[in-house]
Amino acid sequence: MTFRIDSPARLAEAHASCQAAFARQKSRFLVCAGTGCVAMGAMRVLSEFKRLIAERGLQVDVDLLFEGQEAEVGVAYSGCHGLCEKGPLVRYEPQGVFYTGIKVEDVPEILAASLDHGTVVDRLLYKNVDGSRSLTEHEIPFYSGQQRIVLRRCGLIAPEDIREFVAFDGYQSLGRVLQEYTPMQVIDTVQTSGLRGRGGGGFPTWKKWQYCRSAEGSEKYIVCNCDEGDPGAFMDCSVLEGDPHAVLEGMAIAAYAIGARRGYMYVRAEYPLALSRLHKALHLARQWGLLGENIMGSGFSFDVEIFQGAGAFVCGEETALLASLEGGRGWPRERPPYPAEQGLWGKPTVLNNVKTFAMVPAIIMRGADWFASTGTVNSPGTAVFSLTGKIKNCGLIEVPMGITLREIVYDIGGGIPDNKRFKAVQTGGPSGGCLPEELLDLSVDFDSLRSAGAMMGSGGMVVLDENSCMVDIARYFLEFTVHESCGQCVPCRGGTYQMHHILTAITKGEGLPGDLALLEEMAKAIIAGSICGLGKTAPNPVLTTLRYFRHEYESHIHDKACLALHCKELIAFWIDPELCKACGLCMKACPADAIRGAKSEPCVIIQDQCAKCGLCIALCPPKFKAISKKTGVLKPKTPWTSSRAT
Amino acid sequence: MSTSPETVKADLLEVFSKFKGQREELIPILQAVQERFGFLPESAMSALARFTSVAESRVYGAATFYTQFYFARRGKHTIKVCCGTACHVRGAAPLLEAFERELGIERGGTSNDFEYSLERVACVGSCALAPVVVVDEKVYAHMKAKQVKDCLADYKGKSRSNQ
Ligand SMILES: Cc1cc2nc3c(=O)[nH]c(=O)nc-3n(C[C@H](O)[C@H](O)[C@H](O)COP(=O)(O)O)c2cc1C
Ligand code: FES
């Protein structure tokens, strides 16, 4: 059953009907189908649920059904729950029982417990550090420090079922805006809320809308930036996968505010799942009359087109994105004129991030004052991060602005695994920086991060531990920008190349005493001489690591040592003859044929031949732990007595 | 798959029939052409230029700008080793090297028997499972260098459809 919503009254009717359908569903299993959980086999778990429930002769709801057709049990998949590390995740409603790490084999047990005995399967619940189990999300420390605005429906609804979205107040804000607000009132509301763009820069959203509204011309565009180029971040992807209609609704509200009739979504090519869900959402929104001509009989018309990117980081930059949409190389251009005055095909265009748009309906729904009261005074609201790297609870989080890095890393993230020491947290991707332990109590908001030399960015947050080499991290990001620089500005094209060259030399132990000053000088030149944000921020990873971890650079240059035991050229693998039990596993597997040994004689690595691939460490049985890395001593001396020695 | 100029021509006409030939369709058309042939054949480029009334140099200009496009035949299976930040800090580099060693090709290359192409990509959105390798559509989570051999054995000699 579908609705054709052609008036506010019909929207209210649909809302009530979808909510009622929801209320009638006695219980349901929600399998997380974010990119991470799908990779871990969530779809197989989902089909097993469907199959076994059908086998029980129960009717299964895979969709929300309407009066008279409902089944006893619902099975659906949702968007990302956030705790990707422990996937696949399954949620059992109505209690919200939260199962982690579910395999196909676990499904019968969950079904029996939930449907026959009214119990829960203890061993599949989230296990806390102290060994106790948490029944629902709310009892898990990972979730308790979070506040969900953008992700408010992610994990709770089936993203491809528009009725679930409507049941959860979807399109209510659009309805309210079209009925009760003038475009100026929308802009005023966004201004009062203090919303700043979540694409990284933190530009006040209302200002952009205001400029665009007052720009000349009747043809205007809305563009949603779903390019998410930061390598190592998946927030926007998760929002599109988990709650695509929220973004469409936000875009429609923005379009109403600025007077646009067309919108575009520029989606990163590497996100096939997000793309397919988005296409489905768009199709349903049109079918229901929530996009298209004369929406809800208001006279306002708006439609959206999806554009698939083709793989270029710089296309996340707004002017490059627009050039790419127009069908050419994604080359940034100088601003001004800003897109709000001259954007797509020279027409005034508002371009915002996925999360910015997703926040707008929530602001309309709950009021600008409520939003302004969350987060900090200058950065209201929440920040969505993909928390990854050397951290126990990897995943997608949404936290109020003003939270400290320490709370994110230790309370939500659960700290560093394997008893390693925390070293740094990297935010803002290739444009951002690395912040050290001393800054763990820094407040997370646009301005504090920037003053520390890093950047909010779009939401990548990578935690580094004692084994991460900061010179290598800087080199890594520069390698990325060298590759992604569009090449128009010589300082960016040639400068990043040279910086990368120097950084590579340092990681190889070929650094020279003057290198650090040279790096700093070049960074300045690149920042001054680039037209777009890519070049202007590319040196940030180098500058912040030089500022906070200079000693690591110095030990690479002066002592030829990589204290993190990471840089290949500066470390050596060494087998402790005391510990080696001559099992020969490493010797047989060594791809470089660099390990010698004989029966009951400890193995030895021929240093000149060693490719330093690390396979031997991985293979050495943990009970022996005979192989380790060393730095600063180029070739550890090893006693070698075997007759087979060369 | 044959990519002689004649068959390419017939296939191209079919691909083009879904578009209007407007300049802003350039990238979607390139994507559709690549979807059809697995790469962008040379003869397709000039046809595309005529179809969209865009200079051929500009078509090349756009196509070479984006990493998604290829100009030579690709392997049957595509191995994408994620080298995004999250994967990098959890050891993507040795993993990529292990694939290079095992396949005897470099990143970006295709094996001589056209079985495999090896790619280095930046984030596939499963950072929590780092390091991640994607072969065709299958995602390998928490990959280790020592699992590379087994991973490749899953694909050797198999066509894309029957896994
Ligand atoms: C090199 C570069 C890459 C960028 N990548 C993204 C991106 O992936 N996603 C995004 O939303 N904004 C990105 N931005 C920022 C956009 O240019 C733009 O400021 C933003 O999309 C505006 O949306 P907002 O006001 O909602 O933040 C990037 C900027 C630069 C300079
Ligand atoms: S960094 Fe590898 S999946 Fe994101």
Contacts of B99 (CB under 8 A, 6+ apart): B79, B81, B118, B133, B148
Model pLDDT for residues A346-400, shown as the tens digit of each residue: 999 999 999 999 999 999 999 999 999 999 999 999 999 999 999 999 999 999 9
A439-457 burial, b for 16+ CB within 10 Å, e for fewer?
A: bbebebbbebbbebbbbbb
**A626: closest CA among A580, A586, A582?**
A580
Backbone angles phi, psi at A127, to 5 degrees: -100, 125
CA A225 – ligand 1 centroid, Å: 7
Model pLDDT for residues A248-273, shown as the tens digit of each residue: 999 999 999 999 999 999 999 888 88
- Say which range, A5-14, A524-533, B137-146, has the weakest mean pLDDT: B137-146
Distances (CA, A) of A68 to A24, A25, A71, A564, A618: 10, 12, 9, 64, 59
* pLDDT of A592 strictly over 50: yes
CA A235 – ligand 1 centroid, Å: 13
Which residues of chain A does B131 touch, with a Cβ-Cβ cutoff of 8 Å? none
Rounded to the nearest angstrom, the minimum Cα separation between A600 and chain B is 25
B28/A330 touch (CB, cutoff 8 Å), yes or no:
no
Model pLDDT for residues A485-494, shown as the tens digit of each residue: 999 999 999 9
Specify if A636 maps to a domain. no
- Of the candidates A84, A311, A327, which has its C-beta nearest B23's C-beta? A327
Asked whether A429 lines ligand 1 (CB < 6 A), one says: no
CA B129 – ligand 2 centroid, Å: 8
Asked whether A232 lines ligand 2 (CB < 6 A), one says: yes
Please tell me whether the peptide bond between A513 and the residue prior to it is cis, using omega within 30 degrees of 0.
no
CA distance from start to end of chain B: 20
Task: Report DSSP state, residue B137.
Answer: T
Which pair of structure tokens corresponds to residue A418? Answer: 């394997």
Asked whether B121 lines ligand 2 (CB < 6 A), one says: no
Task: Report DSSP state, residue A561.
Answer: -
Residue range B29-56: mean pLDDT, rounded:
94
Share of chain A above pLDDT 70, in %: 96
Which residues of chain A does B147 touch, with a Cβ-Cβ cutoff of 8 Å? none
pLDDT tier at B160, thresholds 50, 70, 90: low
Rounded to the nearest angstrom, the minimum Cα separation between A329 and chain B is 5
Q: Kindly state whether residues A192 and A310 are assigned to the same domain.
A: yes
Counting ligands in written order, the one closest to the CA of A315 is 1
- Of the candidates B58, B91, B128, which has its C-beta nearest A394's C-beta? B128
Share of chain A above pLDDT 90, in %: 83
Asked whether B132 lines ligand 2 (CB < 6 A), one says: yes
Last residue of a domain, one of A426, A446, A468: A468
Counting ligands in written order, the one closest to the CA of B87 is 2
* pLDDT of B100 strictly over 90: yes
A614/B94 touch (CB, cutoff 8 Å), yes or no:
yes
> For a substitution probing ligand 2, which of B132, B133, B139 has the most ligand atoms within 8 Å of its CB?
B132
Specify if A248 maps to a domain. yes
Cβ neighbours around A138 below 10 Å, total: 10
Specify if A363 maps to a domain. yes
Last residue of a domain, one of A416, A442, A468: A468
Q: Kindly state whether residues A330 and A263 are assigned to the same domain.
A: yes
Residue A562 half-sphere exposure toward CB, CA atoms < 13 A: 26
- Of the candidates A35, A310, A389, which has its C-beta nearest B86's C-beta? A389
- Residues in a beta bridge with A450: none
- Of the candidates A329, A468, A476, which has its C-beta nearest B65's C-beta? A329
Specify if A350 maps to a domain. yes
Rounded to the nearest angstrom, the minimum Cα separation between B149 and chain A is 11
- The parent domain of residue A501 ranges over 471-559
Which pair of structure tokens corresponds to residue B40? Answer: 């962008």
Q: Which helix (H) or strand (E) holds A348?
A: none
CATH number of the structural domain spanning residue A256: 3.40.50.11540
For position A646, what pLDDT does the model report? 37
CATH number of the structural domain spanning residue A491: 1.20.1440.230
Which pair of structure tokens corresponds to residue A246? Answer: 């929220």
Mean pLDDT of chain A: 92
Q: Kindly state whether residues A353 and A406 are assigned to the same domain.
A: no
Model pLDDT for residues A543-590, shown as the tens digit of each residue: 999 999 999 999 999 999 999 999 999 999 999 999 999 999 999 999
Model pLDDT for residues A315-331, shown as the tens digit of each residue: 999 999 999 999 999 99
Q: Whose CA is nearest to atom 22 of ligand 1?
A: A352
Q: Kindly state whether residues A505 and A527 are assigned to the same domain.
A: yes
Please tell me whether the peptide bond between A94 and the residue prior to it is cis, using omega within 30 degrees of 0.
yes
Query: Are A90 and A115 contacting, i.e. CB atoms less than 8 angstroms apart?
Result: no
A619/B146 touch (CB, cutoff 8 Å), yes or no:
yes
Which residues of chain B does A589 touch, with a Cβ-Cβ cutoff of 8 Å? 146
**Global pTM value:** 0.94
For position A632, what pLDDT does the model report? 82
Contacts of B48 (CB under 8 A, 6+ apart): B12, B26, B29, B30, B33, B54, B59
**A224: closest CA among A201, A254, A204, A200?**
A254
> For a substitution probing ligand 2, which of B126, B133, B143 has the most ligand atoms within 8 Å of its CB?
B126
Which pair of structure tokens corresponds to residue B162? Answer: 């029957």
Last residue of a domain, one of A430, A450, A468: A468
Specify if A463 maps to a domain. yes
Specify if A298 maps to a domain. yes
Cβ neighbours around A558 below 10 Å, total: 10
Q: Kindly state whether residues A532 and A387 are assigned to the same domain.
A: no
Interface test with B, best of A80, A329, A545 (most B CBs within 10 A): A329
Q: Kindly state whether residues A555 and A578 are assigned to the same domain.
A: no
- Residues in a beta bridge with A397: A385
Model pLDDT for residues A50-99, shown as the tens digit of each residue: 999 888 877 666 665 555 556 678 888 999 999 998 989 999 988 899 99
ipTM above 0.90, yes or no: yes
Which pair of structure tokens corresponds to residue A270? Answer: 């590497």
Residue range A409-438: mean pLDDT, rounded:
95
* pLDDT of A452 strictly over 90: yes
Name the pairing type of β-strands B133-135 and B138-140.
antiparallel
Asked whether B129 lines ligand 2 (CB < 6 A), one says: no
Please tell me whether the peptide bond between A348 and the residue prior to it is cis, using omega within 30 degrees of 0.
no
CATH number of the structural domain spanning residue A405: 3.10.20.600
Distances (CA, A) of A91 to A64, A79, A113, A137, A569: 17, 12, 14, 9, 48
Q: Kindly state whether residues A421 and A487 are assigned to the same domain.
A: no
Query: Are A203 and A212 contacting, i.e. CB atoms less than 8 angstroms apart?
Result: no
Which pair of structure tokens corresponds to residue A58? Answer: 């129960």
Distance of alpha carbon A37 from its chain centroid, rounded? 14
Q: Kindly state whether residues A204 and A69 are assigned to the same domain.
A: no
Specify if A462 maps to a domain. yes
**Per-position DSSP letters for A421-445, written without gaps between them:** PEEEEEESGGGSEEEEGGGTT-B-S
How many beta-carbon contacts under 8 Å exist across A and B? 151
* pLDDT of B74 strictly over 90: yes
CA A426 – ligand 2 centroid, Å: 14
- Is residue A386 helix, strand or coil? strand
CA A390 – ligand 2 centroid, Å: 13
Q: Kindly state whether residues A579 and A481 are assigned to the same domain.
A: no
Name the pairing type of β-strands A60-61 and A73-78.
parallel
Q: Kindly state whether residues A321 and A199 are assigned to the same domain.
A: yes
Task: Report DSSP state, residue A203.
Answer: -
For position A58, what pLDDT does the model report? 73
pLDDT tier at A635, thresholds 50, 70, 90: low
Residue range A268-282: mean pLDDT, rounded:
92
Ligand 1 atom closest to Cα of A357?
26
**A38: closest CA among A272, A345, A358, A353?**
A272
Which pair of structure tokens corresponds to residue A30? Answer: 């929600």
- Overall number of domains in chain A: 5
Q: Kindly state whether residues A89 and A111 are assigned to the same domain.
A: yes
pLDDT tier at A201, thresholds 50, 70, 90: confident
B65/A312 touch (CB, cutoff 8 Å), yes or no:
yes
For position A600, what pLDDT does the model report? 86
For position A642, what pLDDT does the model report? 39
Q: Kindly state whether residues A125 and A187 are assigned to the same domain.
A: no
CA A619 – ligand 2 centroid, Å: 25
Asked whether B87 lines ligand 2 (CB < 6 A), one says: yes
Rounded to the nearest angstrom, the minimum Cα separation between B88 and chain A is 8
Which chain B residue has its CA at the smallest distance from A413's CA? B128
Model pLDDT for residues A173-182, shown as the tens digit of each residue: 999 999 999 9
Which residues of chain B does A313 touch, with a Cβ-Cβ cutoff of 8 Å? 122
Asked whether A314 lines ligand 1 (CB < 6 A), one says: yes
- Say which range, A323-327, B2-6, B79-83, has the weakest mean pLDDT: B2-6
- Say which range, A28-42, A112-126, A420-434, A631-645, has the weakest mean pLDDT: A631-645
Tally the residues of chain A: 646
CA A429 – ligand 2 centroid, Å: 12
CA A317 – ligand 1 centroid, Å: 5
Q: Scanning the structure block, which residue is given the tokens 């001054």?
A: A528
